[in-house]
Every structure is written in structure tokens, then in C-alpha cells.
Amino acid sequence: MLADIEAGYIGVKELAARLAVSSRSVWRLIERRDLGVVRVGRRTLISRAEVARWLAGNETQTLGAHTSNIARQLAAR
């Protein structure tokens, strides 16, 4: 059951790797409240749906053409 719940979330380091940015860049998005998080113990998780929403809203401003591919990959997991 826990694996099913976690499938809808992604960690900060994994998200940074998928977006090809630093973990610090992801933390800045979290600090600015551009991305909402769920904290489970010491873990900080971000909803994949939240990431897809953020990417769709920032497609032309920040990540360009790769955004829709990344959004699809995140949504598929």
C-alpha cells in the first residue's frame, strides 16, 4: 500500500535529476511555494500532479520544449 501512495510522489533529489537542475533549485521552488510538498518524517515529497501543473504553467518561461516530455514522464509514473 505504501508503494502505491509513493508512486504519486517524487523526492527532491529525483525531481532535480529529472529536470536536470540542482536540488537547491527545487528547494527554491518549494520555498517560494511554487511547489507544494508533503513531509513524511524527514522526507520531503512532491506530488507528481503538482509538478505537472507547475511545468504546464511555466512551460515557455523556464524549461522550453522539454517541459511537456518531462510532464508526461512524471504523470506516467
Burial of 74 (0-12, 13-18, 19+ CB in 10 A): buried
Q: Are 72 and 46 in contact (CB under 8 A)?
A: no
Helix (H), strand (E) at residue 9: strand 9-11
pTM exceeding 0.75? no
Using alpha carbons only, what angle is made at residue 28 by residues 59 and 19, rounded to the nearest 5 degrees?
45
- Please name the residue that has the C-alpha cell 518531462: 70
Residues in the chain: 77
Q: What average pLDDT score do residues 40-47 get?
A: 92
Span of 12-21, 28-37, 42-51, 55-64 with lowest mean pLDDT: 55-64
pLDDT digits (tens, 9 = 90+) for 6-31: 689 999 999 999 989 999 999 999 99
Q: Are 45 and 38 in contact (CB under 8 A)?
A: yes
